[in-house]
Amino acid sequence: MSEFSVVGKRLPKVNVWGHLTGTARYADDIQLPRMLYGRLLRSPHAHARIKRIDASRALAHDGVVAVCTGADMPERMGIMPSTQDEYALAVDKVRYIGDPVAAVAAVDEDTAYDALSLIDVEYEPLEPILTIEEALTREDVRIHEDSGRPANVFKDVHLEFGDVEGGFQTAHKVYDNWYFFEGTTHAPMETHSAVASYDGDGKLTLWTSTQVPHYLHRELEKVLGIPRSRIRVIATPNGGGFGGKSDPFSHEFAACLLSMRTKRPVKFTLDREEVFYAHRGRHPVLMHLRTGVSADGDITAVHFQSYLDGGAYASYGIATTYYTGALMTVTYKLPAYKFDGVRVYTNKPACGPKRGHGTTQPRFAFECQLDQIAEDLGLDPIAYRERILQPANSRTVNGLRITSMGLGQCLEEVKRSTRFPEKHGQLPRGKGIGVAGSAYISGAGLPIYWNEMPHSGASVKVDRGGGVTVYCGTSEIGQGSDNVLAVVAAEQLGVLTEDVHVVSGDTSLAPVDLGSYSSRVTFMAGNAVRQAAGRLRTLVVEAAAAKLGVPADRIALAQRRVYDLADPAKGMTFAEAAVLAESKNGTLVSVGSYKPPKDISGDYKGSGVGPTAAYSYQAAVAEVSVDLETGIVTVERITEAHDCGRALNPPAVEGQIEGAAYMGYGEAIAEEQVFRGGLHKKPSLLEYKLPTSMDTPEMKAIIVETIDPEGPFGAKEAGEGPLNPVIPAIANAVYDAIGVRFDETPITPAKVLDALQKNRSRVGPEGLSSQRDPKAAMRRLHATTDAREKKKVMS
């Protein structure tokens, strides 16, 4: 029998009825009396100066109630306090096609839309910067004049650990490859939506589909200029997020300001095209990976360079840049490591965090190169990975603390399930099998703004009928966070999940949780709820023990009963025990909080991105067939094992693995956020190819449990990591099938056919294009970075 009564059971999620009957209320379903409808006017230019905006014709239009522009909200904002380079609506300049310039509130949506064409904006077009190479070299065209770095560089980071030069010198062979990962977007099925309501008491409420109600709360205060105490943010159930609803967005500020101006509720719902402009999706990254290996395959040194195409604004870009380097060390033994990351601005929608944030692209490069190394060594690619695994309970060369580590078990599971060694290298031409491993964080080790407060807070209340309410600032984005919190509380208090109400994502009702990003909720909010509920458990146990006349350590709680372990018939209902505890102690409300430990990273500039209290691990095997006539890659099956510490709710973990595998599959073979002269090529679901039920491969999800020492009941993340190994596993399977290495994504039929017809062994980038000598630009960049660092040291 399990030691748990709720944890690990295959129970249905809580709060499901509304989702199945159409009664769940998403932001766009909210309709308030006298509500106005808002629309954003967006820039038709990729790069232009705004000379003049005249909204008088729009304001005079019948049915238009208010208009606002960038001048009404001149405060800079952005998700990362150290790199705020955005405005709620463009001020002075527009930086991509789709950049919001003005907002209209009108009596209905059609009127608001019509009014957009009546806003007169005079632009002075500027030359757009559209590629990484241009961004690095064009000193004469600056997207952000005050970036403080040469040309259009947003951020450059340079880190070195261990004896890198020595490692390459002693290497038997050095692998030197370039890779390119194409940008992709989240495409949640719910477009962004927000409703603001400013009431007569001077209080503002914003219902919005956001993953980060707390961070948004802070930015609203800053931009709107009213105290946070008068603003309430309520995160509505997100109809999918995947990272795409983790920034503060123009429509949220505009809804608030227009509601404050008109004293009427204002709703903005983006249309599908606008979601492609709001973006904040996967960065296109050009990568240079050099890996030294000994004669028997041990890695002696790695030098990894990443060039991130960030788009027009910072978003989470500073973290993304570090993330492209940080987690390279946590999977396989790596004694020496050098990382150079550069993120540039371009005149395209801003990139940000998408499921796997910044780790997906380098993982693709690394796992593809490892496949090549294993082949040269004559080793099975799973056996090779098993040989070089980073051990559990260790430190990486860049100072990251590793505790539980189940990559070995994951590899073993996918090997057994797919009979990999019997197939790899032995299938007929056109059929292939490939493998890859990966890792992810269970929540970022540091918050985005420096503070010593908890990352997650929760309160738990027990009512006199035995009901339990959990309050936590987390955002339910479909990942099942409400259910996870209900499971943790129910297990602690010995009730059923259906007895638990979860109030989440409300800045007025719930203690702060930093939000549903970086796969942090199960680990951090789970621990906060575990602590809060644990405190009430103690009171209930003590009260019941006194009543039953047995020692407290003999009291158990399960199935709504509180009873004597030695004589289970002796006991009472949970509700009765709760009444005793409340009679003795007063109102049964407790709080809990969680902050990651301090000793989980090294101590150097840039060490704040990468550490986490626990890494999740995963391995995937893809089986493909390539049609040699059409170039179509059919992924027949993905088998993926994921180390989630402990599965609090196994079906939910399996759902995350399957969903992540699907999303990775889409990125591997079809999805791309691409542009023509600054204009999005595919801003609709007709053109941007999301896999359908006909395309998506059969998937097998395998749960590996390593029982993490610090996770709630041993749990780690499950939402993001499982995306990472799928893409390189597919690329490696395609190689096994046709002998062509795809060192870039996506692997489209046109590229496959081209490679087959030209008899190529590789498809991928050759390096930085030499047209305008970006290498010289890089030398200049490094020189200025060195000078900046020196200046800092001296001052």
- Closer residue to another protein in complex, CB, 50/65: 65
Q: H helices within 8-145, ranges in order?
A: 17-21, 56-60, 109-116, 132-137
- Closer residue to another protein in complex, CB, 376/698: 698
Quick one: which of 1, 295, 686, 750 contacts another protein (CB under 8 A)?
686
- Closer residue to another protein in complex, CB, 285/701: 701
Quick one: which of 85, 86, 114, 190 contacts another protein (CB under 8 A)?
190
> Collapsing DSSP states into helix, strand and coil, what is residue 525?
helix
Binding to another protein in span 689-718, by CB under 8 A: 690, 692-694, 696, 698-699, 701
Tell whether residue 750 is a contact of another protein (CB under 8 A): no
DSSP state of 523: I
CA distance 499 to 514: 26
Tell whether residue 659 is a contact of another protein (CB under 8 A): yes
- Closer residue to another protein in complex, CB, 71/189: 189
Site string for another protein, 211-250 (x = CB under 8 A): --------------------------xxxxxx--------
Short-list 508, 523, 787, 510, CA closest to 648: 523
CA distance 663 to 367: 18
Minimum distance of another protein from residue 269's CB (angstroms):
8
Phi, then psi, of 648 in degrees rounded to 5: -65, -35
Minimum distance of another protein from residue 618's CB (angstroms):
15
Quick one: which of 163, 221, 271, 386 contacts another protein (CB under 8 A)?
271
Q: For residue 215, what are the contacts with CB-CB under 8 A and spacing of at least 6?
A: 79, 248, 448, 514, 515
Three-class SS of 689-722: CCCCCCCCCEEEEEEECCCCCCCHHHCCCCCCHH
* Residue 343 · residue 159 · CB < 8 Å: no
CA distance 81 to 315: 10
Pairing of strands 64-69, 100-106: antiparallel
> Collapsing DSSP states into helix, strand and coil, what is residue 453?
coil
Tell whether residue 685 is a contact of another protein (CB under 8 A): yes
Minimum distance of another protein from residue 28's CB (angstroms):
7
Quick one: which of 480, 511, 714, 764 contacts another protein (CB under 8 A)?
480
CA distance 168 to 175: 10
Quick one: which of 479, 601, 612, 625 contacts another protein (CB under 8 A)?
479
Beta bridge partners of 459: 471, 591
Measure Cα distances from 586 to 29, 494, 726, 758, 763 in Å: 40, 20, 53, 79, 69
- Closer residue to another protein in complex, CB, 31/583: 31
Nearest 5 degrees, angle CA 252-CA 253-CA 254? 90
Quick one: which of 2, 23, 583, 759 contacts another protein (CB under 8 A)?
23
Choose one: 18-26, 90-98, 485-493, 735-743; the region binding another protein (CB under 8 A): 18-26
Binding to another protein in span 551-580, by CB under 8 A: none
Greatest alpha-carbon pair distance for the chain in Å reads 84
Choose one: 26-34, 221-229, 603-611, 752-760; the region binding another protein (CB under 8 A): 26-34
Choose one: 382-390, 471-479, 757-765, 784-792; the region binding another protein (CB under 8 A): 471-479
Residue count of the chain, please give it: 795
Look up residue 737 and give its two tokens.
């099938």
- Closer residue to another protein in complex, CB, 109/412: 109
Minimum distance of another protein from residue 553's CB (angstroms):
37
Short-list 197, 388, 435, CA closest to 293: 388
> Collapsing DSSP states into helix, strand and coil, what is residue 344?
strand
Quick one: which of 191, 315, 320, 474 contacts another protein (CB under 8 A)?
191
| # binding residues, another protein (CB under 8 A) | 57
Element holding 581 (H helix, E strand): helix 574-585
Look up residue 536 and give its two tokens.
């009430």
Minimum distance of another protein from residue 112's CB (angstroms):
13
Helical axes 574-585 vs 526-548, angle rounded to 10°: 90
Minimum distance of another protein from residue 240's CB (angstroms):
5
Tell whether residue 546 is a contact of another protein (CB under 8 A): no
Tell whether residue 2 is a contact of another protein (CB under 8 A): no
Tell whether residue 253 is a contact of another protein (CB under 8 A): no
DSSP state of 349: P
- Closer residue to another protein in complex, CB, 166/651: 651
Minimum distance of another protein from residue 262's CB (angstroms):
20
- Point out which residues bind another protein (CB under 8 A): 12-13, 16-26, 28-29, 31, 186-191, 237-242, 269, 271-272, 477-480, 651-652, 654-655, 658-663, 665, 684-686, 690, 692-694, 696, 698-699, 701
